[in-house]
Amino acid sequence: MIKRSICAIKGIKKAALLALITIGLVACTTQEIPPTHSYGVVTSGDFDFMKHGVVTYSWHPESEKVYLSKKYDKTMVTDLVRDVIRDQLAAKGYQLRQDGGVGDVVVGFGLAEESVLNDDSIFNAIKLSTGVPFYDGDGKLAEKGSLYVVFFVPNSEVVQWQALAQSGIQSDLELNESKQRITGFIEMLFRHMPQRSN
């Protein structure tokens, strides 16, 4: 019985040693893959100001600043982003002021392609930066696209909430794929916005 116990212990020691050697070899041969990011987001401010009395919104008169190269249809991209923001605000219970007046909150947005407006220029204008590089499927540095959304209260240029979302540009997407991608970003940005009860 003692011999069997000794043999069993030796077998366990051999198995444990073999497992440690295997783990050591795997650890020595495994390459660490650098982290990849599908998007970067930075926000400033909060939506507390929208908790009471905010029902309507209007577009900021200087909204829709677009810095895209000629390979993109600026009007189509701007309309797409505006429509997605409008749809997400409606889903949260907020209505666009229809009479041309100023809403309870004023919303603005802008778009940029990195080759037209770089991160330094964006930071100098809005004081936000994700600091995240993006790579394509081959591990090469990809061109960055930026979406900026900002909320003000009427008659004030003080920013209540703002967000900068950036990602590698995927120029080969169909229109419905682009809309889904932009919708995902806007939903994420607005996730802490108060839901109005109708």
In the prediction, which pLDDT does 128 show? 83
Domain ranges of the chain: 1-32, 40-189
Question: To the nearest whole number, what is the mean pLDDT of the chain?
Answer: 82
Band of residue 24 on the pLDDT scale cut at 50, 70, 90: low
Nearest partner of 49 among 187, 180, 154, judged by Cα: 154
In the prediction, which pLDDT does 34 show? 45
Rounded Cα distance between 111 and 46, Å, is: 21
In the prediction, which pLDDT does 12 show? 55
Top pLDDT among 35 and 39 is at: 39
Band of residue 23 on the pLDDT scale cut at 50, 70, 90: low
Residue 32 has pLDDT above 70, yes or no: no
Give the DSSP per-residue string, the chain. Answer: -HHHHHHHHHHHHHHHHHHHHHHHHHHHHPPPPPP--S-EEEEEE-SGGGSSS--EEEE-TT--EEE--TTS-HHHHHHHHHHHHHHHHHHTT-EE-TTSS--SEEEEEEEEETTTS-HHHHHHHHS-------B-TTSPBPPEEEEEEEEE-TT---EEEEEEEEEE--TT--HHHHHHHHHHHHHHHTTTSPPPP-
> pTM of the entire structure?
0.77
Residue 189 has pLDDT above 80, yes or no: yes
The per-residue pLDDT for range 79-122, each reduced to its tens digit, is 999 999 999 999 999 999 988 899 999 999 999 998 998 888 88
- The residues, ordered by sequence, that sit 6+ positions from 171 with a Cβ below 8 Å of its Cβ are 71, 72
In the prediction, which pLDDT does 25 show? 47
The per-residue pLDDT for range 125-153, each reduced to its tens digit, is 888 888 777 777 777 787 888 999 999 99
Q: What is the architecture of the domain spanning 40-189?
A: 2-Layer Sandwich (3.30)
Rounded Cα distance between 120 and 30, Å, is: 37
Nearest partner of 183 among 84, 109, 39, 74, judged by Cα: 84
